[in-house]
A = this chain, B = another copy of it.
Amino acid sequence: MSLDRLMVKIYEKQNPTVAGLDPLLEYVPEFIRRRAYKENGEGLRGAAEAILQFNIGLIDALYDIVPAVKPQAAYYELYGYEGVRALHETIAYAKQKGMFVITDGKRNDIGSTMQAYATAHLGEVSVEGKVYEPFGADALTVNGYLGTDGIAPLLEVCNQKDKGIFVLVKTSNPSSGELQDKHIEGTTVYNRMGQMCQEWGKSLMGKYGYSGVGAVVGATYPSQLKELREKLQETFFLIPGYGAQGGGAEGVALGFDKKGKGAIVNSSRAIMCAWKKEGCPSEEYAQAARREAIRMKKDIMSHIGKISL
């Protein structure tokens, strides 16, 4: 019903980072692609198998030091329903290895449709009385533009299945201010969205001071990150934009509370493509990812100190 399971994993590993699994085919080393095509053909099925095998290698290299993965749904839909099968298998594999899985889908809708998304990604669906987990993630990113009608169905599933959500509040992209920074009735759109997260979270409070309704707040806007950390004391942050998009560890640290809690920082490309940046043989892509994950952890931990619960 909250994000406590994630917070415990972060505490145990003393690592408040999540590895984004956004596997464009061009990131996948050739030896993996060739092997996948051999058994599955050089089409969407083969591509999907290649990204799955790429992910499995990354998870094997990271699961003992990184608490969570965040597969981005778009990169799986890109390879059609075969790609979506790879998303399913990736989630299952990461969970089996003990990782917390955040599906980054930014889903949004209302009523029974939002209920369907909540069930699909976090819950169980019934077919003639038997239940199945369609995707089985631990948390889902969502977009709150539609208001409470779009969030309420998620809260129910989170409560029943001990899952969480992250609502977009202040995103990391350059044009995020076009709407999010506008002033509304004495505050800004992103502040209003943040307040709604606090309200929605009241029914999903965890043991460590944070609710099951987290917020996405970009590393690229440190002053807003600081402002929101002060205002939204029960809202856990998922922070994208570290590294590739320009957010530094010093800014990112503003998203944490005094106990080193309250946030998790994402890195996708820098981890997935570490082997390219290092210039090491592609066969070592997973070890290179591990080296980058360790570097990132040290970089962020050097600014926030120890994590307590």
Tell me if A116 counts as interface (CB < 8 A to partner B): yes
Q: B residues within 8 A CB of A79?
A: 120, 125, 127, 134
- Contact indicator A46/B127 (Cβ below 8 Å): yes
Size class of the A contact interface (CB-based, 8 Å): 35 or more
Of the candidates B33, B109, B114, B178, the one whose C-beta lies within 8 Å of that of A196 is B178
Q: B residues within 8 A CB of A179?
A: 144-145, 147, 189, 192-193, 196
Q: B residues within 8 A CB of A189?
A: 179, 182, 184, 189
A61-96 residues at the B interface, CB under 8 angstroms: 72, 74-75, 77-81, 83-85, 87-88
Q: B residues within 8 A CB of A180?
A: 145, 147
Of the candidates B84, B88, B143, B175, the one whose C-beta lies within 8 Å of that of A148 is B175
- Contact indicator A44/B74 (Cβ below 8 Å): no
Q: B residues within 8 A CB of A171?
A: 110, 145-146
Tell me if A39 counts as interface (CB < 8 A to partner B): no
Chain A positions 190 through 213: 1 when the CB is less than 8 Å from some CB of chain B, otherwise 0: 001100100000000000000000
Of the candidates B77, B134, B143, the one whose C-beta lies within 8 Å of that of A116 is B77
- Contact indicator A109/B111 (Cβ below 8 Å): no
